[in-house]
Amino acid sequence: MPGITISSAYGAGGSVVAPKVAERLGVTMLDRAISARVADDLQVSLDEAQHGERKQSFADRFFCALAPLADTVAGDAEIARSDQAGASEFRAEANRIMSDALDKGAVILGRGGAAAFQDRDDVLHIRFYGTPEQRLDAAMRFSGVSEDEARRHMEQTDAARAKYVHHLYGRDIDDPALYHLQFNTPLLEQGQCIEMIVTAYQAFLAKKGERVAAG
Protein backbone atom coordinates (compact mmCIF):
# COMPACT_ATOMS: atom_id res chain seq x y z
CA MET A 1 0.00 0.00 0.00
CA PRO A 2 2.23 2.86 -1.21
CA GLY A 3 0.07 5.97 -0.89
CA ILE A 4 -0.90 9.44 -2.00
CA THR A 5 0.87 12.76 -2.48
CA ILE A 6 -1.21 15.90 -2.01
CA SER A 7 -0.05 19.29 -3.26
CA SER A 8 -2.14 22.18 -1.99
CA ALA A 9 -2.29 25.87 -2.77
CA TYR A 10 -2.63 28.15 0.26
CA GLY A 11 -6.22 28.17 1.52
CA ALA A 12 -7.19 25.09 -0.48
CA GLY A 13 -7.50 22.91 2.61
CA GLY A 14 -4.55 20.56 2.32
CA SER A 15 -3.65 20.70 6.00
CA VAL A 16 -7.25 19.82 6.94
CA VAL A 17 -8.09 17.17 4.36
CA ALA A 18 -4.79 15.25 4.14
CA PRO A 19 -4.76 14.05 7.78
CA LYS A 20 -8.37 12.89 7.49
CA VAL A 21 -7.59 10.97 4.29
CA ALA A 22 -4.63 9.30 6.02
CA GLU A 23 -6.86 8.43 8.97
CA ARG A 24 -9.51 6.91 6.70
CA LEU A 25 -6.90 4.79 4.94
CA GLY A 26 -5.07 3.85 8.13
CA VAL A 27 -1.69 5.13 6.94
CA THR A 28 0.91 7.63 8.16
CA MET A 29 0.61 11.32 7.28
CA LEU A 30 3.81 13.26 6.58
CA ASP A 31 4.07 17.02 6.06
CA ARG A 32 6.31 19.39 8.02
CA ALA A 33 7.91 16.40 9.73
CA ILE A 34 9.75 15.78 6.45
CA SER A 35 11.58 19.10 6.74
CA ALA A 36 12.32 18.49 10.42
CA ARG A 37 13.94 15.14 9.64
CA VAL A 38 15.90 16.57 6.71
CA ALA A 39 17.17 19.35 8.97
CA ASP A 40 18.21 16.84 11.62
CA ASP A 41 19.87 14.44 9.17
CA LEU A 42 21.78 17.16 7.29
CA GLN A 43 22.51 19.22 10.41
CA VAL A 44 20.93 22.37 8.99
CA SER A 45 18.24 24.72 10.27
CA LEU A 46 14.55 23.96 9.78
CA ASP A 47 14.29 27.07 7.60
CA GLU A 48 17.04 25.78 5.31
CA ALA A 49 15.35 22.39 5.05
CA GLN A 50 12.00 24.00 4.22
CA HIS A 51 13.58 26.01 1.42
CA GLY A 52 15.80 23.18 0.19
CA GLU A 53 18.99 25.22 0.29
CA ARG A 54 21.75 26.16 2.68
CA LYS A 55 22.02 29.81 3.65
CA GLN A 56 25.19 31.49 2.48
CA SER A 57 27.64 32.75 5.05
CA PHE A 58 28.77 36.37 4.98
CA ALA A 59 31.98 35.28 3.25
CA ASP A 60 30.02 33.38 0.57
CA ARG A 61 27.83 36.42 -0.12
CA PHE A 62 30.89 38.68 -0.19
CA PHE A 63 32.76 36.60 -2.77
CA CYS A 64 29.62 36.10 -4.85
CA ALA A 65 29.24 39.88 -5.01
CA LEU A 66 32.85 40.20 -6.19
CA ALA A 67 32.53 37.44 -8.78
CA PRO A 68 31.82 39.72 -11.76
CA LEU A 69 34.78 41.93 -10.85
CA ALA A 70 37.71 39.53 -10.72
CA ASP A 71 38.79 36.39 -12.53
CA THR A 72 40.33 35.10 -9.32
CA VAL A 73 36.95 34.91 -7.59
CA ALA A 74 34.42 32.16 -8.31
CA GLY A 75 32.16 33.15 -11.20
CA ASP A 76 28.50 32.51 -11.95
CA ALA A 77 29.14 28.99 -13.25
CA GLU A 78 30.81 27.92 -10.02
CA ILE A 79 28.05 29.52 -7.95
CA ALA A 80 25.46 27.69 -10.04
CA ARG A 81 27.29 24.39 -9.54
CA SER A 82 27.31 25.00 -5.80
CA ASP A 83 23.56 25.71 -5.83
CA GLN A 84 22.91 22.53 -7.83
CA ALA A 85 25.00 20.44 -5.45
CA GLY A 86 23.07 21.85 -2.50
CA ALA A 87 19.74 21.13 -4.17
CA SER A 88 20.84 17.56 -4.88
CA GLU A 89 21.74 17.06 -1.23
CA PHE A 90 18.34 18.25 0.02
CA ARG A 91 16.46 16.42 -2.74
CA ALA A 92 18.16 13.10 -2.03
CA GLU A 93 17.48 13.27 1.70
CA ALA A 94 13.84 14.39 1.32
CA ASN A 95 13.23 11.69 -1.29
CA ARG A 96 14.71 9.02 0.98
CA ILE A 97 12.45 10.02 3.88
CA MET A 98 9.33 10.20 1.69
CA SER A 99 10.13 6.95 -0.12
CA ASP A 100 10.60 5.06 3.15
CA ALA A 101 7.19 6.31 4.31
CA LEU A 102 5.46 5.46 1.03
CA ASP A 103 6.85 1.93 1.09
CA LYS A 104 4.90 1.38 4.33
CA GLY A 105 1.83 3.35 3.19
CA ALA A 106 1.54 7.12 3.60
CA VAL A 107 -0.18 10.35 2.64
CA ILE A 108 2.44 12.99 1.90
CA LEU A 109 1.35 16.62 2.01
CA GLY A 110 3.52 19.03 0.06
CA ARG A 111 7.33 18.90 -0.20
CA GLY A 112 7.17 18.30 -3.95
CA GLY A 113 5.95 14.73 -3.56
CA ALA A 114 4.29 14.57 -6.98
CA ALA A 115 7.44 15.81 -8.72
CA ALA A 116 9.67 13.54 -6.64
CA PHE A 117 7.78 10.35 -7.47
CA GLN A 118 6.62 10.86 -11.05
CA ASP A 119 8.31 7.59 -12.00
CA ARG A 120 6.44 5.50 -9.40
CA ASP A 121 3.24 4.05 -10.79
CA ASP A 122 2.01 2.98 -7.36
CA VAL A 123 1.53 6.49 -5.93
CA LEU A 124 -1.56 8.62 -6.58
CA HIS A 125 -0.81 12.33 -7.07
CA ILE A 126 -3.44 14.94 -6.18
CA ARG A 127 -3.53 18.74 -6.40
CA PHE A 128 -5.84 21.08 -4.42
CA TYR A 129 -6.51 24.46 -5.99
CA GLY A 130 -9.03 27.30 -6.12
CA THR A 131 -9.28 30.87 -7.32
CA PRO A 132 -7.41 33.44 -5.19
CA GLU A 133 -10.75 34.84 -4.01
CA GLN A 134 -12.05 31.42 -2.99
CA ARG A 135 -8.87 30.57 -1.14
CA LEU A 136 -8.72 33.94 0.61
CA ASP A 137 -12.26 33.49 1.87
CA ALA A 138 -11.50 29.96 3.07
CA ALA A 139 -8.30 31.08 4.82
CA MET A 140 -10.08 33.93 6.60
CA ARG A 141 -12.86 31.64 7.81
CA PHE A 142 -10.54 28.85 8.91
CA SER A 143 -7.73 30.93 10.45
CA GLY A 144 -9.68 33.99 11.57
CA VAL A 145 -7.21 36.39 9.95
CA SER A 146 -7.92 39.64 8.12
CA GLU A 147 -8.14 39.82 4.34
CA ASP A 148 -4.84 41.71 4.12
CA GLU A 149 -3.07 39.16 6.30
CA ALA A 150 -4.58 36.23 4.42
CA ARG A 151 -3.57 37.76 1.08
CA ARG A 152 -0.01 38.30 2.29
CA HIS A 153 0.21 34.72 3.57
CA MET A 154 -1.23 33.41 0.31
CA GLU A 155 1.29 35.25 -1.84
CA GLN A 156 4.24 34.25 0.34
CA THR A 157 3.19 30.63 0.79
CA ASP A 158 2.29 29.98 -2.84
CA ALA A 159 5.58 31.53 -3.97
CA ALA A 160 7.64 29.54 -1.46
CA ARG A 161 6.01 26.24 -2.42
CA ALA A 162 6.46 26.90 -6.13
CA LYS A 163 10.09 27.88 -5.62
CA TYR A 164 10.81 24.73 -3.59
CA VAL A 165 9.42 22.42 -6.28
CA HIS A 166 11.23 24.24 -9.06
CA HIS A 167 14.51 24.49 -7.13
CA LEU A 168 14.67 20.82 -6.16
CA TYR A 169 12.87 19.15 -9.06
CA GLY A 170 12.85 21.66 -11.92
CA ARG A 171 9.06 21.42 -12.25
CA ASP A 172 6.17 23.88 -12.21
CA ILE A 173 3.97 23.13 -9.20
CA ASP A 174 0.87 24.06 -11.26
CA ASP A 175 1.73 21.71 -14.15
CA PRO A 176 -1.34 19.45 -14.51
CA ALA A 177 0.89 16.69 -15.90
CA LEU A 178 2.20 16.13 -12.37
CA TYR A 179 -1.16 15.01 -11.03
CA HIS A 180 -3.68 12.23 -11.56
CA LEU A 181 -6.49 14.32 -10.06
CA GLN A 182 -7.08 18.00 -9.26
CA PHE A 183 -9.77 19.26 -6.87
CA ASN A 184 -11.21 22.77 -6.70
CA THR A 185 -11.58 22.22 -2.97
CA PRO A 186 -13.24 25.54 -1.97
CA LEU A 187 -16.26 24.43 -4.03
CA LEU A 188 -16.52 21.08 -2.24
CA GLU A 189 -17.66 20.02 1.19
CA GLN A 190 -14.78 18.63 3.21
CA GLY A 191 -16.49 15.25 3.54
CA GLN A 192 -17.12 15.09 -0.21
CA CYS A 193 -13.47 15.75 -0.95
CA ILE A 194 -12.26 13.09 1.47
CA GLU A 195 -14.73 10.53 0.12
CA MET A 196 -13.74 11.18 -3.50
CA ILE A 197 -10.03 10.82 -2.71
CA VAL A 198 -10.52 7.59 -0.77
CA THR A 199 -12.70 6.17 -3.57
CA ALA A 200 -10.18 7.24 -6.22
CA TYR A 201 -7.34 5.66 -4.26
CA GLN A 202 -9.22 2.39 -3.87
CA ALA A 203 -9.91 2.32 -7.62
CA PHE A 204 -6.28 3.24 -8.32
CA LEU A 205 -5.00 0.28 -6.29
CA ALA A 206 -7.70 -2.09 -7.53
CA LYS A 207 -6.50 -1.48 -11.07
CA LYS A 208 -3.10 -2.72 -9.92
CA GLY A 209 -4.54 -5.80 -8.25
CA GLU A 210 -4.29 -4.53 -4.67
CA ARG A 211 -6.98 -3.96 -2.08
CA VAL A 212 -7.17 -1.29 0.60
CA ALA A 213 -9.60 -0.99 3.49
CA ALA A 214 -11.02 2.38 4.49
CA GLY A 215 -12.29 3.05 8.00
Domains of the chain: 3-54+85-207 (3.40.50.300)
Instruction: Quote the CA–CA distance of 5 and 65 in Å, as a whole number.
Output: 39
Per-residue burial over 88-122, b if 16 or more Cβ lie within 10 Å, else e, is ebbbebbbebbbebbeebbbbbbbbbbbbbeeeee
Q: Which of 22-36, 90-104, 122-136, 149-163 has the lowest mean pLDDT?
A: 22-36
| Cβ atoms 181, 199 nearer than 8 A | no
Nearest to 2 by CA among 173, 94, 125: 125
pLDDT at 97: 85
- Most confidently modeled range among 19-23, 79-83, 98-102: 19-23
pLDDT at 44: 54
Per-residue burial over 180-192, b if 16 or more Cβ lie within 10 Å, else e, is ebebebbebeeee
Instruction: Quote the CA–CA distance of 148 and 154 in Å, as a whole number.
Output: 10
pLDDT at 40: 60
Residue 130 has pLDDT above 80, yes or no: yes
